[in-house]
Amino acid sequence: MNAEIAAVTAEFVQRLSSTRRGARLARVLAVQQLDAWGVPFGTGPSDAVAHVVAELAANAVTHGHVPGRDFEVRLLLLRGGRVRVEVADTRGERWPRARPGGDGEGGRGLLMVEALAEAWGVTERNVGKVVWADLTVTAVSRPRPR
């Protein structure tokens, strides 16, 4: 068994419309889910995850949009007080074409992702790609039952 999969203690997955409204909703749903997992709304860890979700969702909508296709947000609560944020879109080309921060018009939001996350990257999948980021969250209690 993959050690990373064994480290998952809870998961949240939501498919959203590939629109600005969908990107905003991704952020709202992420902080609500974190709160349910014991990471209170408005704390530093909650805000950091919210910023990362907002940036990756906005990029998926702006650069990864394929007409008629949604994007997907996945949060994985991992052992050791970490959260993995994954945002999947259906466009195969990589929108983080290079490391962030060049002289071009885009890429600055990924500087924020890089600053807030312990690690981030892009993984290809059958249709499209997944951009992921790992963040440490503190004071995580066990997920509350629904």
Task: Read off the pLDDT band of 36 (50, 70, 90).
Answer: very high
Task: Read off the pLDDT band of 131 (50, 70, 90).
Answer: very high
- Stated pTM of the model: 0.82
Q: Is the dihedral of CA 34, 40, 45, 46 positive or negative?
A: positive
Q: For residue 69, how many other CB atoms are within 10 A of its CB?
A: 15
* Residue 16, pLDDT score: 93
Q: DSSP E strands: which ranges in 37-113?
A: 71-78, 82-89
The pair of three-digit structure tokens given for residue 97, joined into one six-digit string: 């074409």
| Least confident piece of the model among 27-36, 98-107, 126-135 | 98-107
H/E stretch holding 115: helix 108-116
* Residue 1, pLDDT score: 38
Side-chain-facing half-sphere of 135: CA atoms under 13 Å = 27
The pair of three-digit structure tokens given for residue 14, joined into one six-digit string: 């939501």
Q: What amino acid occupies position 132? A: W
Task: Read off the pLDDT band of 100 (50, 70, 90).
Answer: low
- Structural domains in the chain, sorted by start: 3-136 (3.30.565.10)
Q: Would you say residue 96 has pLDDT above 60?
A: no
Side-chain-facing half-sphere of 61: CA atoms under 13 Å = 19
Q: Is the dihedral of CA 77, 82, 48, 93 positive or negative?
A: negative
Q: Would you say residue 146 has pLDDT above 90?
A: no
pLDDT tens digit string along 10-32? Answer: 999 999 988 899 999 999 999 99
